[in-house]
Amino acid sequence: MYGIADLDNCYVSCEKVFRPDLEGKPIVVLSNNDGCVVARSNEAKKMGIKAGIPYFQLAQLFPGQKIAVFSSNYELYGELTGRVVSIIRQEAPAYFRYSIDECFMYLDGIEIDQLQEWGENLHNRVKREVGMPISIGLAPNKTLAKIASKLAKKYAAYKHCCMIDTEYKREKALAWCPIEDVWGIGRRYAAKLQALGCITALDFAKHHKEWVRVTFNNINIERTWQELNGEDVVPNEELAKKKSICTSRSFNGMISDYETLFTHVSNYAARCAEKLRMQHTVASIVGVFLNTNMFREDLPQYWNFMEQRLVTPTSSSITIIQTADEVLKKLFREGYQYKKAGVIVMGIGAESPIQQDLFDMNAEQIQKMRRLDEVIDRINRMHGTETIVLGAQQYTQKNGKGKAEVFANAIKHDFRSPNPTTRWADVIQLNAKVEKKKN
DNA sequence: TCTGGGGTCCTAGGACCC
DNA sequence: TCTGGGGTCCTAGGACCC
């Protein structure tokens, strides 16, 4: 049997851990730059706030309504979800972390007649120790487990844990589940299936395998069909290292000068290098892309991506920033207002042994840069991200007297909560607020 | 005024090898 | 008149996931 543990309204639940006063109220969490709504509390969903709507439309669509708004705070979410995963590590025989808010669990070794109770206990422990609600689905394959978790979330009678372990329960669950909610059926396939008369998961599962093959000629959707019918065929993910790593952001406003663009790209490059080092890998290709604002049809548009191969694969922040800069120089065109940029590293391989090029830097230089990166990583882990950065990563701005001033972050986060779990300064601030309120 | 940020996999077609 | 039978690698495009 498989299980999936899914954190309910993940980002909102994280914010609520430190704001119990918001229980029962509509809450939303925004994407970077306070752009779109990316998470909603149940109350916000009931109000009709759709996922993905731009924040600026919220006031227009829901005038005069009280909605608690938070900017995204990924350090906080990473910390809290990590605590949930460490509980799952203790409770489940084996698991695979599928995303920030979902964990697949392999449940061989737990008796089937004890599974329901095991799931309910897991929910209770997470709720008690971290303060966040999770929904658990149990089934003979991952696709059905996902459907079970949706049922667990929807109906309180399941006590946060729903198990599909009989033919009767399987058919009942499939008949309840709209085709577009099936894991692996996206917007396109859902539209096609609905046009063919498949409204629920059961409608689709009842077709013959041959029909699925002829209609779609795609192995993934065939596997989904098999799993809906009870087989276990979707491959289990390895804890594989990433094959490409991308860091990209939309800007707060638009940028047309090269210098500012370079500072942003340097930051993304440094972040990619950091991610490479975290999984003990190196990359051999550095790519950069640039976008103008596609919503501004009145402005000239430009989109491009270029890449460059490295002589020696590396995870060095300095080398990757330098390479990204060379690519950016080729990519950059005057006269456009850019809205978004990103860095992608590819050709990822193990950290050692690295094939060294005969004419590249000597081993001593490489060692030196590696030690520098290690120190930077350590400081940033201890004191919070971007406590220390390379010069190229620093944003500068002319002040009133024409003098350059350095500032830390270019992303707009007007409604950010403090980070009481990761930053002492924030813990102290929060405690002070609580004290003040008490008095 | 303001519109997110990551990833993976599959398939088809072309270039090239013997 | 007749024109083989394998392969690999790369890229682009289109799906999907959270």
Across chain A, which has 439 residues, the per-10-residue mean pLDDT values are: 96 93 94 91 93 89 91 89 94 92 94 97 96 96 96 96 97 96 92 93 94 87 94 75 84 89 91 89 89 86 85 89 90 90 87 60 81 91 81 72 58 77 56 60
Q: In angstroms, how far is C7 C1' from A216 CA?
A: 27
Q: Which residues, at least 6 apart from A47, have a Cβ–Cβ distance to it below 8 Å?
A: A26, A62, A65, A67
Q: Which nucleotide is at minimal CA–C1' distance from A346?
A: B7
pTM: 0.86
pLDDT on residue A177 = 96
* Nucleotides, chain B, CB distance < 7 Å: 1-12
CA of A210 vs C1' of C6, distance in Å?
29
Burial A299-313 (b: 16+ CB within 10 A, else e): eeeeeeeebeebebb
Listed in sequence order, the residues at least 6 apart from A228 whose beta carbon sits closer than 8 Å to its beta carbon are A143, A144, A174, A182, A201, A204, A205
At A357 the pLDDT is: 56
Strand C within 7 A of A325 CB: no
Paired sense of beta strands A134-139 and A161-163, if any? parallel
Task: Give the largest CA-CA distance in chain A.
Answer: 75
C-alpha–C-alpha distance, residues A369 and A315, integer Å: 10
Is A346 within 8 Å of A307 (Cβ atoms)?
Answer: yes
User: According to the model, what pLDDT value does residue A294 have?
Assistant: 83
Task: Give residue A395's pLDDT.
Answer: 72
Q: Of A248, A255, A365, A350, whose CA–CA distance to A299 is shortest?
A: A255
State the pLDDT at residue A229.
96
CB-neighbour burial class of residue A341 (10 A; exposed 0-12, middle 13-18, buried 19+) = buried
- Rounded CA-CA distance A75/A86 in Å is 17
- What counts of helices (H) and strands (E) characterise chain A? 15, 15
Q: DSSP string spanning A339-384?
A: EEEEEEEES-EESSSPPPPTTS--HHHHHHHHHHHHHHHHHHHHH-
Q: Tell me, what's the pLDDT at A400?
A: 61
In the numeric block, which tokens belong to residue A434?
């609580």
CA separation for the pair A407, A307 (Å, rounded): 29
Instruction: Give the C-alpha separation, A218 to A220, whole Å.
Output: 6
How far are the Cα atoms of A260, A398, A404 from residue A401, in angstroms, in the given order? 20, 8, 9
CA A37 to chain centre: 14
- A98 CB contact with strand C at below 7 Å: yes
Q: Nucleic chain C: which protein residues 263-292 of A have CB below 7 A from it?
A: none
Helix (H) or strand (E) holding A404: strand A404-407
Do A103 and A5 contact (CB within 8 A), yes or no? yes
Q: Using CA atoms, how far apart are residues A414 and A147, in angstroms rounded to an integer? A: 37
Q: How far is the CA of A32 from the C1' of B6 (A)?
A: 12
